[in-house]
Structure 1
Amino acid sequence: MRLLSLLSCCLLLLPGVLGAQGKFAYKLMNDLFANYSNALRPVEDMDKAMNVTLQVTLSQIIDMDERNQILMAYLWIRQVWFDAYLRWNKDDYDGLDTIRIPSSYVWRPDIVLYNNADDQFTGSMETNVVIRYDGQIMWDSPAITKSSCKVDVSFFPFDGQQCRLTFGSWTYNGNQIDILNHLDTGDLTDFVENVEWEVLGMPAKKNVITYGCCSEPYPDVTYTLMLKRRASFYIFNLLLPCVMISFLAPLGFYLPADSGEKVSLGVTVLLALTVFQLLVAESMPPSENVPLIGKYYIATMTMITASTALTIFIMNIHHCGPEAKPVPKWAKKFILQYMSRIFFVYEVGESCRRPTPEAEKPPKVQVMNGQAKREDPAAILKNCKESGLKNTATKEDLDWGKENASSDDHSAWKESGKCENGSDQCGVGKSPGCGECSKIHCLCHNERLLKNIEYMANCFREQKAAQKRTGEWKKVAKVMDRFFMWVFFIMVFFMSVLIMGKAI
């Protein structure tokens, strides 16, 4: 019961207490600002400088515009100074030691952001100030600032930026206001993490600069915001697609030349990389510093252009016709022998262990033990010449033989020769001594038919030589394709390792 009575008494006395505090606050307000002016610097000695302590808290990085080189940040700015005309004895006002009033009522230092890039020049928010009984004034105000920042995109997307925020008085020099930094670094305890930028630190430094316009020193406090870009987004959206596309360029050499798609593949890859380069160029400032990823794109596009040009050159070699010159000896030895083995280029039926099979020689026909065998036609002609036959065929006879070889062969056989033993013509009443030998001599006597056979044999030899020459040029083109494929694969690999090494 006693406890309840005490609580009820306290509740009855509480409104009176609060009412007394309010009355003393109004009385203090009237006493302080009766003869106060916020237009003059509140110091007793005008020759002495007023100390203003500055503290900046970084709350959030709103935007980083690399193209326009503007940093947009949300800051909490705290300014503390002493006003010589806003002091009171707290015992005279029922122990009231602090009051909160609008900041427009008191004198405020004109501290601004020197490198402000806002087109509207909006300053800090009009918040209240906290005044202590000893004259200390603390002004906390949030501000959204747009500051100019020199952006260096040489190592984009693995770059880091240093943006400076310089605060100083606009009209008061160092002999009137001295700016001090409360801490050696900006406050990052309430910082909201940014998805693109990582804050490494925010050191603060006081500078005293004498400008060309004035002889007085002007102090300022510069906060250097050290940022590092989070490169994961750009790696997966700009870099890896470029790497994968660039690996398609060497595969154009592996594509068969008869497919007709070698040049089309190179042109398609080149157009794809051009699109990615335009995406990077739109977000980067038009400066002389080319970004790292831009250099990678240019190097890859140059490589693909060179591969397309080499593909056109190799296809010209591949499609050499029968009228082409033979492959030079050095090319046969160096390309067709050594390089083809190094790059595992073999023809059908050829392997690295077994060399190319030699061309089969035409079988010879001989008569041994009553068995008929084939004989080389050149040997037959040689035997015919040794037998004393004269070559009396003229050009007209050769032409006549070409036209009538199929129709008059049998009749010519009958008219042209007799067997050596005086028997009948070939094919008519063969004697035992005639046999195969008589047929060979009958063939030798038909000179027109032999000329036709020799003409067809020469045409066949020329055709085989042209096919061999064309096949050699095709193999040279294939070896060069395989060589350039590995060369460009190595180039793409090293360029990719170099660009990825920057991320580490």
Structure 2
Amino acid sequence: MCFWSLKIMAHGLCTRGLLLFLIYIDLFDYLTSSDVIDANEMYAMLSNDSIYNKLVPPANTVKVYAGYNLQNVNSFDAKLKIFSTTGFFTLKWQDDRLKWNSNNGDIQHIFVPEEKVWHPDLVVLNLIQELDNKLGAERPIRIFEDGTLVWKQIAILSTFCYTYVFFFPFDRQTCSLQLTSLDFPMNAVDLEYLETTADLKEYSLHAEWQVVKTSYIPYYLFTDNYQELNEIIQFSMELKRNPVHYIMIIIIPTIITAVLTFVTFFLPLKSGIRIGYILTVVLALVVILTLFVDSMPTSTTFPSILVISITVALIMAFLLIIITIFVMRLYDKPKTSKAPNWMHSFVRKSRNLKLKCTARKRNRVEQHQDIEHVEDGSPKEEIDHVDKKSPTKLYRNKELAEFFDYFLFVVYSVFYVLVILAILILAGVVYYYQNKLRNE
């Protein structure tokens, strides 16, 4: 009887010990395992620092996927090189400690304050104006049942953007947002792309700038005297300027004013209004350049081709002032004042050259007609209608002025066209090499 009692007691102690052991294992599993029963327990766990330590990363190397959604281009000051945007970053990573079982219709995701969980501390490197709060401050983090965390950070940023203004206002600019983690090196936080391009689904069109394309470019930054390597994700945006505004208020008035300089040669010399007219045109060019100098971007490398064109128009207008003064001074000289001999010689040689060309052209026509009537086919001897032994003639000052007025008009026009062609060729060469470097 006693034996059976002892056996029953021993069996009861074993069963009680086994139950206590299982309860202990279950409690230990609750404290240490990443599997939480439901979402309510997840909130309770995040409030207990002894169970979940937000200062400890979820793994030795956390892979963080980053994306960018562009909503607005607020402004782009090409003169100050400030690019202002509104959008949000989307960060996604995995934390196996924050899993729970969502069977039986339980909640599949929850939102928690960002200070409750571990998250990557990311910054934008090329910021110009410091943010009032840290990036993503006071923004909730979404936790899914499988331990995936998604954090959307609203970002109103003013960043530095290098500008290349040679083709202004037909230029394209490439601006970027450089996202990195300075506190965690690459072996602790591995940044990856969430998508291949920036999200433009919610983008609002800008009046002056059009987003042509977006891209992500990874590169690396050495810190702590080249001891650590930090990964940087660069969200690049290629912007195209809308040139209609500048065409209407700068380019068209400049072209019209430049064309008006040629009208100077069609004004009569004896009226004396030429000098006043060309001075008015020069003043108009100066006013155009002064009014819009603030809206034109500056560059320390190459000036804008529009600035070059307006400067050339000003130089040519000043050259025309010198020509006008020369011709009018010669025209208004009294009859008793003799012009220099080189002027008479130049006019004489120019007219003789013109007569020779006319005579040779007429001789070729006559020879062609005579060949048809000569049986042996030998043409007659060329007749020079220009008398080489004509006496030296002195021209009147007004005749000299009229000749130089026409001659300088031709020279000025040809020179102006050559300068414009040189500017266009320069622009074409720069455009070709720029596209070649961009494609490489």
Could you tell me the TM-score, scaled by structure 1's length?
A: 0.63
Q: What's the counterpart of residue 299 of structure 1?
A: 312
CA contact (8 A) 1:253 1:484 kept: no
Q: Does 1:150 align with 2:159?
A: no
Rounded Cα–Cα distance in structure 1 between residues aligned with 2:339 and 2:62 = 96
Give the one of 318, 323, 326 matched to 1:313: 326
Q: What's the counterpart of residue 220 of structure 2?
A: 208
TM superposition shift of 1:289 = 2.2
Task: Name the amino acid aligned to 2:165.
Answer: V
Identity %: 23
TM superposition shift of 1:49 = 0.8
TM superposition shift of 1:117 = 0.9
Q: What's the counterpart of residue 112 of structure 1?
A: 123
Rounded Cα–Cα distance in structure 2 between residues aligned with 1:158 and 1:319 = 47
TM superposition shift of 1:37 = 5.6
Give the one of 215, 218, 238 matched to 1:226: 238
TM superposition shift of 1:326 = 6.3
Q: Which range moves more in the overlay, 124-133 or 59-68?
A: 124-133
Number of aligned residue pairs: give it: 351
Task: Name the amino acid aligned to 1:330.
Answer: S
Q: Does 1:75 align with 2:90?
A: no
CA contact (8 A) 2:213 2:238 kept: yes
Q: Does 1:266 align with 2:190?
A: no
Give the one of 26, 40, 43 matched to 1:29: 43
Q: Does 1:195 align with 2:207?
A: yes
TM superposition shift of 1:493 = 5.2
Give the one of 175, 190, 204 matched to 2:187: 175
Q: What's the counterpart of residue 386 of structure 1?
A: none
TM superposition shift of 1:139 = 0.9
TM superposition shift of 1:292 = 0.7
Specify whether residues 293 and 108 from structure 1 end up closer, same or farther in structure 2 by C-alpha distance, changes over 3 A only: same
Q: What's the counterpart of residue 348 of structure 2?
A: 333
Rounded Cα–Cα distance in structure 1 between residues aligned with 2:46 and 2:110 = 11
Rounded Cα–Cα distance in structure 2 between residues aligned with 1:488 and 1:326 = 23
Task: Name the amino acid aligned to 2:335.
Answer: P
TM superposition shift of 1:33 = 2.9
Specify whether residues 75 and 242 from structure 1 end up closer, same or farther in structure 2 by C-alpha distance, changes over 3 A only: same
Rounded Cα–Cα distance in structure 2 between residues aligned with 1:253 and 1:38 = 87
Specify whether residues 38 and 483 from structure 1 end up closer, same or farther in structure 2 by C-alpha distance, changes over 3 A only: farther
TM superposition shift of 1:281 = 3.0
Pairwise mapping of residues 402-417 of structure 1 onto structure 2 (< 5 A)?
Answer: none
Rounded Cα–Cα distance in structure 2 between residues aligned with 1:205 and 1:234 = 32
CA contact (8 A) 1:52 1:177 kept: yes
CA contact (8 A) 2:39 2:100 kept: no
Rounded Cα–Cα distance in structure 2 between residues aligned with 1:136 and 1:327 = 94
Specify whether residues 274 and 317 from structure 1 end up closer, same or farther in structure 2 by C-alpha distance, changes over 3 A only: same
Pairwise mapping of residues 392-407 of structure 1 onto structure 2 (< 5 A)?
Answer: none
CA contact (8 A) 2:72 2:204 kept: yes
Task: Name the amino acid aligned to 2:116.
Answer: Y
Give the one of 129, 139, 142 matched to 2:141: 129
Rounded Cα–Cα distance in structure 2 between residues aligned with 1:229 and 1:498 = 25
Rounded Cα–Cα distance in structure 2 between residues aligned with 1:30 and 1:197 = 49
Task: Name the amino acid aligned to 1:476.
Answer: L
Q: Does 1:238 align with 2:250?
A: yes
Give the one of 389, 392, 400 matched to 1:476: 400
Q: What's the counterpart of residue 68 of structure 2?
A: 56
**Which whole-Å deviations, capped at 9, do the CAs of 1:46-73 have from their partners, x for residues lacking one?**
xx21111001112221111111101001
CA contact (8 A) 2:90 2:152 kept: yes
Task: Name the amino acid aligned to 1:101.
Answer: V
**Which whole-Å deviations, capped at 9, do the CAs of 1:409-446 have from their partners, x for residues lacking one?**
xxxxxxxxxxxxxxxxxxxxxxxxxxxxxxxxxxxxxx
Q: CA RMSD in A?
A: 2.9
Aligned to 1:90, what secondary structure does the other structure show? coil
**Which whole-Å deviations, capped at 9, do the CAs of 1:456-476 have from their partners, x for residues lacking one?**
xxxxxxxxxxxx97x832122
Rounded Cα–Cα distance in structure 2 between residues aligned with 1:124 and 1:320 = 81
CA contact (8 A) 1:197 1:229 kept: yes
Q: What's the counterpart of residue 290 of structure 2?
A: 278
**Which whole-Å deviations, capped at 9, do the CAs of 1:232-290 have from their partners, x for residues lacking one?**
21111101100100111121122122222211222222222122223443232363421
TM superposition shift of 1:27 = 4.7
Pairwise mapping of residues 354-365 of structure 1 onto structure 2 (< 5 A)?
Answer: none
Q: What's the counterpart of residue 412 of structure 2?
A: 488
Bigger radius of gyration among the two: 1
Q: Which range moves more in the overlay, 281-290 or 314-323?
A: 281-290
Rounded Cα–Cα distance in structure 2 between residues aligned with 1:82 and 1:204 = 22
Rounded Cα–Cα distance in structure 2 between residues aligned with 1:300 and 1:96 = 72
Stretches of structure 1 that go unaligned for 5 or more consecutive residues are 1-23, 343-467
**Which whole-Å deviations, capped at 9, do the CAs of 1:321-341 have from their partners, x for residues lacking one?**
121226855345345676799
Give the one of 33, 46, 56 matched to 1:41: 56
TM superposition shift of 1:39 = 4.5
